[in-house]
Amino acid sequence: MKIFAYGIRDDEKPSLEKWKKANPDVEVDFTSEILTAETAPLAKGANGVVTLQTAPYTRDALEILNKFNIHNISIRNVGVDNFNFKDLNDLKFNLTSVPVYSPNAIAEHAVLLMGRLLRRIPEFDQKMDNGDFTWSPTIGKEYREQTIGVVGTGHIGRIVIKILQGFGAKVVAYDVYHNPEIEEQGLYVDSLEELYKQSNIITLHVPLFDSNKHMINEKAISEMNDGVYIINCARGELIDTDALIAGLDSGKIAGAGLDVLDDENSVFGKVWGSIDKIPNDKIKNLAQRLNVIVTPHSAFYTETAIHNMITTSFDSNKILIEGKKPSTLVDTKK
């Protein structure tokens, strides 16, 4: 049995070596390149592929895998929004994900973004760089004075809620599915409009679908409180960047913590030398602001997460190749 892996980074190699040692019956080969039509032929001879990328999985790349009789794809991450399920079904692919590699990694990052904005850390950092060791005017706000709207109470959203409650914040939540634990605490509001109305901070933890693309748009922002903070550690396309920039310009939005951005692949994953050289005016606009914190889709990036991403994705691919049904199988027929 052979598995070919795409996009393997140095930080993943120790966990991959451990997995190989525990699975001597599986031949593993890999590349640091992501899966594209150009790199798809590298998988020739394999029975399955393991991948991780934020770029779209194109039909032509999948067709080449198909030509080599490869029908098993295991991604090392949660979100499946960069696949076209019709392509997967047409080409008879089985897909697995790693739905729970470490929700704490992302939840902690989201709460840290909030805290850095509330305590005006980017402004303090700039003051420190200028040798300015004074307090004023960078006075902060406390979590316990905030009402925080958590959109999506799945694996990540629920950990966000637990951490925020530790800080004494008031939490309201919205989800199309009601989790019994969150329901029991009486945190759900009936609509996004109600969540926007009550919250000083809004944090997104929902998957991206065609139906919720740009859910944070001009209309949604107009329904929010003046001086709201917006945190996005889910998917960039959930927010209309033009509307976000307009909201920041008008002061309606006090700040934003953005681990993901619309069109992030034009900027993330590369070294630009300085913000001025970023080839995307909207992302540059956001990254230059002291009340906006941009991180390069790194909320997931912890040692624990990386280890679990490797182990679960390779386990899942092996199970698929053996013709069995892993618990991580994605329902692409939905």
Q: Where are the beta strands (DSSP E) in the chain?
A: 2-5, 27-30, 48-51, 72-75, 94-96, 147-151, 170-174, 201-204, 228-232, 253-258, 292-294
Q: Which residue has the tokens 């939540």?
A: 173
Based on the shown chain and the rule CB under 6 A, indicate whether residue 79 belongs to the binding site for ligand COI.
yes
Indicate which of ligand NAD, ligand COI, none lies near residue 157 (CB less than 5 to 8 Å, by partner kind).
ligand NAD
Among 173, 241, 180, 242, residue whose Cα is nearest residue 205: 173
Based on the shown chain and the rule CB under 6 A, indicate whether residue 296 belongs to the binding site for ligand COI.
no
Among 72, 153, 199, 280, binds ligand NAD (CB under 6 A): 153
Based on the shown chain and the rule CB under 6 A, indicate whether residue 268 belongs to the binding site for ligand COI.
no
Nearer to ligand COI, 175 or 259 (CB): 259
H or E segment at 281? helix 281-287
Among 57, 9, 11, 16, residue whose Cα is nearest residue 33: 9
Left (φ > 0), alpha (ψ -120 to 50) or beta: where does 4 sit?
Answer: beta
140, two tokens: 């902060």
Among 84, 78, 66, residue whose Cα is nearest residue 103: 78
Is 235 considered catalytic here?
Answer: yes
Among 54, 72, 241, 308, binds ligand COI (CB under 6 A): 54
Indicate which of ligand COI, ligand NAD, none lies near residue 207 (CB less than 5 to 8 Å, by partner kind).
ligand NAD
Indicate which of ligand NAD, ligand COI, none lies near residue 306 (CB less than 5 to 8 Å, by partner kind).
none
Among 243, 300, 312, 318, binds ligand NAD (CB under 6 A): 300
Q: Provide the binding-site residues for ligand COI, judged by CB under 6 A.
A: 52, 54, 77-79, 297, 300
Q: Provide the binding-site residues for ligand NAD, judged by CB under 6 A.
A: 78-79, 103, 106, 151-157, 174-177, 205-208, 212, 233-235, 259-260, 297, 299-300
